């Protein structure tokens, strides 16, 4: 294709600016939605992969047969199982946890949170292996009864208010909070410190939105003496994870034993299904955009019948007409695809920021060169396919009949 054809194609699109814009709009919306979805999905998968790497050594013991990580807080285990599990080989650290859902009060504000009753010494050792690190202060001292350790979002006020916006507080070590027990009575705790931002999904909630208190105090507050909701087990070598899992299942035949990898794999499968569904919807939008290109080019051919006939009468070959219409279609889709891709990158960031107001810890969207290559490759193919029929129809116009055509 020479420069003259490019100039003619650009001029034809430019003189019908409104129609050109609305034709490209379908392509823009389709590519933007697909790009945003892929970028958000890539961010989630990268975050989950990083979590998987940091927790591959973890085995989780849940109460009851057929229990799942989604039923935490509805049943309990006897705390005595912790000592039995600790005697097994390759068990390096244990973290028994009692989970309860309640309300935290701070300076007149009340927010729903997850209480994690933990054994301070055990939990400190476990989180040193899995993360997140301590941001401020220190972990709960062993032997304390009314000390609390906060997740990042709670400590830094990254919690959305019902009226909109975030709380924007900072709870520092030494300040007081109140937690409500099973009877609705407030218990006061002094904050000892807080975690750095985690972003990892945690059983029963998010680490970032949890309050950690001594296990004995939690058992007293919620009438769960000698009980825990689950036990996390850190295996000293990932090669022995399945062996430890099998041994715990023999030791506790009525409990459910899963690996952290299993829980994450379930989330990944669900996420993949949802992504495929949303990408299917985005693809439908792309097809609609392609039909818009076909319609615009066909309309353009009919409106320019005499013009095309004049080109043919002046000696233009069928190939010239074919290339001109094909180029118009490719320009429509490529320009629309470029705008759509850029818009999709921005849209992904905006969507994640909006969702973070209610769900702190969401990972950033990830856009790589493969996404850009696929986006432009798809739009180029759409442009060519959508332009073939209108271009062929224009090229086959007979010069004499086209010049006599009344517009």
pLDDT tens for 325-372 read 778 778 877 888 888 888 988 998 888 888 776 666 677 888 767 766
Instruction: Report the candidate in 343, 332, 342, 338 with the shortest Cα–Cα distance to residue 390.
Output: 332
249 within domain boundaries: no
Can you tell me whether residue 301 is helix, strand or coil? helix
382 and 299 share a domain?
yes
320 within domain boundaries: yes
Query: Residue 157 pLDDT more than 80?
Result: yes
- What does pLDDT average to over the chain? 80
Tell me what percent of the residues of the chain surpass a pLDDT of 90: 32
148 and 284 share a domain?
no
377 and 305 share a domain?
yes
Question: Tens digit of pLDDT for each residue in 249-258?
Answer: 999 998 989 8
Question: Residue 228 has which token pair?
Answer: 């825990």
| pLDDT computed for residue 176 by the predictor | 96
242 within domain boundaries: no
284 and 397 share a domain?
yes
Q: d(Cα 79, Cα 71) in Å, to the nearest integer?
A: 18
State how many domains the chain has. Answer: 2
| pLDDT computed for residue 203 by the predictor | 42
34 and 67 share a domain?
no
73 within domain boundaries: yes
104 and 169 share a domain?
yes
342 within domain boundaries: yes
23 and 64 share a domain?
no
Quickly state the pLDDT bin for 282 (edges 50, 70, 90).
Answer: low
346 cis-preceded (ω within 30 degrees of 0): no
Q: What average pLDDT score do residues 160-180 get? A: 83
Please report which helix (H) or strand (E) contains residue 59, including its range.
strand 58-62
- The answer to whether 20 and 261 have CB atoms below 8 angstroms apart is no
18 and 133 share a domain?
no
Q: Which domain holds residue 18?
A: 3-50+266-404
Boundary of a domain, candidates 218, 236, 254: 236
153 and 197 share a domain?
yes
Instruction: Report the candidate in 366, 374, 295 with the shortest Cα–Cα distance to residue 26.
Output: 295
- The answer to whether 8 and 310 have CB atoms below 8 angstroms apart is no
100 and 211 share a domain?
yes
The crossing angle, in degrees rounded to 10, of helices 17-55 and 369-395 is: 150
Taking the model in full, what pTM does it have?
Answer: 0.59
Burial class (CB in 10 A: 0-12, 13-18, 19+), 214: buried
Residue 130 neighbours by CB under 8 Å, 6+ apart: 54, 55, 58, 234
Residue 221 neighbours by CB under 8 Å, 6+ apart: 100, 179, 181, 182, 187
Residue 118 neighbours by CB under 8 Å, 6+ apart: 95, 96, 97, 140, 212, 213, 214, 215
């Amino acid at each position: 294709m020479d420069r003259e054809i490019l100039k003619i194609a650009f001029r034809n699109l430019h003189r019908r600016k409104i129609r050109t814009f609305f034709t490209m709009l379908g392509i823009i919306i389709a590519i933007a939605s697909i790009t945003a979805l892929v970028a958000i999905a890539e961010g989630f998968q990268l975050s989950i992969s990083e979590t998987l790497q940091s927790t591959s050594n973890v085995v989780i013991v849940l109460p009851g047969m057929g229990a799942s990580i989604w039923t935490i807080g509805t049943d309990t285990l006897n705390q005595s199982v912790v000592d039995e599990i600790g005697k097994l080989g390759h068990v390096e650290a244990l973290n028994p946890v009692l989970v309860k859902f309640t309300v935290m009060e701070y300076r007149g504000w009340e927010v729903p949170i997850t209480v994690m009753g933990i054994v301070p010494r055990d939990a400190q050792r476990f989180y040193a292996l899995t993360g997140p690190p301590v941001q401020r202060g220190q972990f709960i001292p062993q032997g304390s009864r009314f000390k609390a350790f906060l997740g990042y979002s709670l400590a830094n006020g990254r919690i959305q208010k019902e009226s909109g916006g975030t709380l924007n507080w900072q709870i520092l070590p030494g300040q007081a909070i109140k937690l409500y027990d099973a009877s609705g009575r407030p218990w006061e705790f002094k904050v000892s410190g807080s975690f750095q931002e985690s972003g990892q999904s945690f059983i029963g909630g998010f680490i970032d939105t949890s309050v950690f208190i001594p296990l004995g105090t939690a058992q007293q507050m919620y009438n769960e003496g000698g009980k825990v909701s689950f036990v996390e087990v850190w295996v000293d070598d990932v090669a022995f994870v399945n062996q430890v899992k099998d041994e715990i299942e023999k030791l506790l035949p009525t409990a459910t034993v899963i690996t952290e990898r299993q829980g994450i794999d379930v989330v990944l499968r669900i996420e993949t299904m949802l992504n495929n569904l949303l990408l299917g919807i985005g693809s439908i939008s792309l097809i609609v955009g392609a039909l818009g290109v076909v319609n615009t080019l066909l309309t353009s051919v009919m409106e320019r019948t005499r013009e095309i006939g004049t080109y043919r009468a002046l000696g233009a070959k069928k190939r010239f007409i074919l290339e001109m219409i094909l180029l118009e279609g490719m320009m429509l889709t490529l320009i629309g695809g470029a705008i759509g891709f850029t818009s999709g990158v921005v849209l992904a960031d905006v969507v994640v920021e909006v969702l973070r107001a209610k769900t702190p810890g969401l990972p950033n969207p990830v856009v790589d060169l493969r996404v850009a290559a696929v986006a432009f490759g798809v739009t180029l193919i759409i442009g060519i396919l959508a332009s073939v029929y209108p271009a062929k129809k224009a090229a086959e116009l007979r010069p004499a009949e086209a010049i006599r055509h009344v517009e």
